[in-house]
Chain A
Amino acid sequence: MNFSLRYYIEKLRKSWMIISLVIILSLPFLIGISLLFKSWPLLVSTPISEIIFSSNWMPTKGNFGLWPFIFSSIVVSLLGLLIMIPFTLASAIYITQFAPNWISKVLRTVIDILAGIPSVIFGLWGIIVIVPMVSEWATSANSANASGYSILAAGIVVAVTTLPFVLNMLIELFESVPRELKESTLAMGASHWQTIKDVILKKIRPGIIAAFTLGLSKAFGETIAVLMVVGNVVQIPDSIFAAGYPLPALLANNYGEMMSIPKYDSALMLSALMLLIIVILFNYFAHKVIRFYQSKM
């Protein structure tokens, strides 16, 4: 009797566990299917290549060319990556290899705090600090858009929002390098920097690339902070001082009015679907590479 009650409680527990895990694990599929279902009307009426590569964006006339948004997204995230790489790499090396213990602790706290800051605050900081700075540069470069709300400002802000995330992964990677490897290189007479440059960096290079890939896909999905500083003009930006309009910003700005124009919601949901697919692909392969290093620890 006692045993059977215990048995039923266990059954209940087990199903609770399985159900919750299955809900979470199947989430990407559910999201994908629902977005595909919503974007189907547009996909049926227009060939996909035309939607992606056409720059003709006139929702009221039924023209949904997403290329300006896709292009802005790509440029902003690549620019962000480019700005982020030297900072994350340098400080990851410094924190794990050179810094005295207490400095390393302080720096890790700084990174933790930075990682907790919401993206809307980064966006505010972008408006207060970055946009005026970029505006000055744009004026001295005689650019057509001197407001500062630009691809460059978005790139800088996105670099900062993804920085703590990537930096934490890099620190973990550097710490996964076996101690013996470093010690034997040092014993051969190499300087500390030579060891880092010729041995450690070579050893974890694919891992570093994977970490940056994750950063890139995070930058690709960054919404509010970018939206606040990028200018939101539908165009193919011709310089880094020009305004852009990335995909997540398109989604966030227009969800309110999308029901009033036919197929508008399909176009927006298609852009969400593209974000989802790109991010999942990037993340899947990047995490596979990183796993490989973690398993060797």
Chain B
Amino acid sequence: MNSRKYLVEKIVKIILLIFTIFIVFVLLSIFYGIFKKGLPALNWEIISQVPKGGYYFGKEGGILNAIVGSLYLAIGASLIALVISIPAAFFIHTYLFSYPKWQKRVRLWLDVLWGIPPIVYGAFAFNFMLFMGWPSSLLAAMITVALLISPVMIRSMDESLQHNSKGLFESALSLGFFKGEIGFKFLFKQSLPGITTAFLLALGKGLGDTASVLFTAGFTDYIPESITEPAATLPLAIFFQLSSPIPEVKERAYAAAIVLTIIILVISILSRVLSKRFSKNRIK
């Protein structure tokens, strides 16, 4: 009897391990598939040039327009999101400090917001742009993506503030500081690691999001020179090139996918390293 229950445990352990290994296998298969298909088409020309005449028929050129467009979009959107998210997160921890019930409600609603599909944001932004008579532009896409990532950003800053703000807040308040001052002067330093990781998380989301940008950013073969111009983005470049019937163009979609994957990986490694470094001077 006794040995049987441990035998069952051993078998279960093996089954669980197999399922878990399968997930690792899926990740490897994603990398392997994309690199195998895309590496032959990946060269310096592709990442250093904008599309030239006949590019979409397999002639010369590259996807620099999409790489730069995506970076502009992601950085711009993340900065706008910061301007909205930092004060909002501080508000939860300063002015709402004595109203835990409201803190809870706000957090719940932010989590619900996080789940709204990007395509719905895209449809809404498209409506709004039609209503205002704006053409598709980099700025419109930035604002859309910023609204999309703000709930996550606020929540991740909020999480990082939750561990340490109480004593600090109370002692600063007793010294006569205003609540907003405490937020921007003291909590800001404490939440730096949170803000950094939130920023990088938003950057990754902004780079990878396709559905919300589909309606708002437009597409162009040129590198945008101002935020009122349309911009190409990497996910859209992948998406469009893939639907081409010409094999050379299709291959470039995979090459673009490698570029996107590498940028995303670099950001995720960066966020790990930075959050470790920043968390040194935090008051526990």
- Name A's B-contacting residues (CB within 8 A): 6-7, 9-10, 13-14, 16-18, 20-21, 23-25, 27-28, 30-31, 34-35, 38, 86-87, 90-91, 93-95, 98-99, 107, 110-114, 116-125, 127-129, 160, 163, 167, 191-194, 214, 217-218, 220-224, 228, 248, 251-252, 255, 268-269, 272, 275-276, 279-280, 282-284, 287-288, 291
Tell me if A121 and B257 are in contact (CB < 8 A): yes
Task: Name the interface size band of chain B.
Answer: 35 or more
Residues of A within 8 A of B260 (CB): 118, 120-121
Which residue of B16, B27, B116, B131 is within 8 Å of A110 (Cβ)?
A: B27
Given A91-B16, A279-B115: A118 and B29 interface contact (C-beta under 8 Å): no
List CB contacts (< 8 Å) of B1-29 with chain A: 5-6, 8-9, 12-13, 15-17, 19-20, 22-24, 26-27, 29
Residues of A within 8 A of B151 (CB): 24
Tell me if A28 and B209 are in contact (CB < 8 A): no
For the residues of A in contact with B, the DSSP-based class is: helix
A-B pairs with beta carbons under 8 Å apart, 23 shown = A17-B87, A17-B91, A17-B94, A17-B180, A20-B91, A34-B124, A34-B131, A90-B16, A110-B27, A112-B268, A116-B208, A121-B30, A124-B253, A125-B34, A129-B29, A163-B23, A223-B118, A223-B119, A228-B242, A252-B211, A252-B214, A279-B116, A282-B115
Which residue of A20, A25, A111 is within 8 Å of B106 (Cβ)?
A: A25
The answer for the CA separation of A6 and B176 in the assembled complex, in Å, is 12
Tell me if A98 and B211 are in contact (CB < 8 A): no
Residues of A within 8 A of B69 (CB): none
Shortest CB–CB separation between residue A48 and chain B, in angstroms?
Answer: 19
The answer for the CA separation of A114 and B265 in the assembled complex, in Å, is 10
Tell me if B264 and A20 are in contact (CB < 8 A): no
Tell me if A251 and B127 are in contact (CB < 8 A): no
List CB contacts (< 8 Å) of B91-130 with chain A: 91-92, 94-95, 104, 106, 108-124, 126-128
- Number of A-B residue pairs having CB atoms within 8 Å of each other in the complex: 243
B254 located at the interface, meaning its Cβ lies under 8 Å from any Cβ of chain A in the complex = yes
The answer for the CA separation of A118 and B203 in the assembled complex, in Å, is 12
Closest residue of chain A to B123, judged by CB?
A: A272
- Name B's A-contacting residues (CB within 8 A): 5-6, 8-9, 12-13, 15-17, 19-20, 22-24, 26-27, 29-30, 33-34, 37, 83-85, 87-88, 90-92, 94-95, 104, 106, 108-124, 126-128, 131, 147, 150-151, 154, 178-181, 183-184, 204, 207-211, 214-215, 235, 238-239, 242, 253-254, 257, 260-261, 264-265, 267-268
For the residues of B in contact with A, the DSSP-based class is: helix
Residues of B within 8 A of A252 (CB): 119, 211, 214
Shortest CB–CB separation between residue B120 and chain A, in angstroms?
Answer: 5
Q: A6-B181, A86-B19, A116-B204 are in contact. List 20 more A-B contacts (CB 8 A).
A: A10-B179, A27-B147, A34-B131, A94-B13, A95-B20, A99-B20, A114-B26, A117-B264, A120-B238, A120-B239, A124-B242, A124-B253, A125-B29, A194-B5, A220-B117, A251-B119, A252-B214, A279-B115, A283-B115, A287-B108
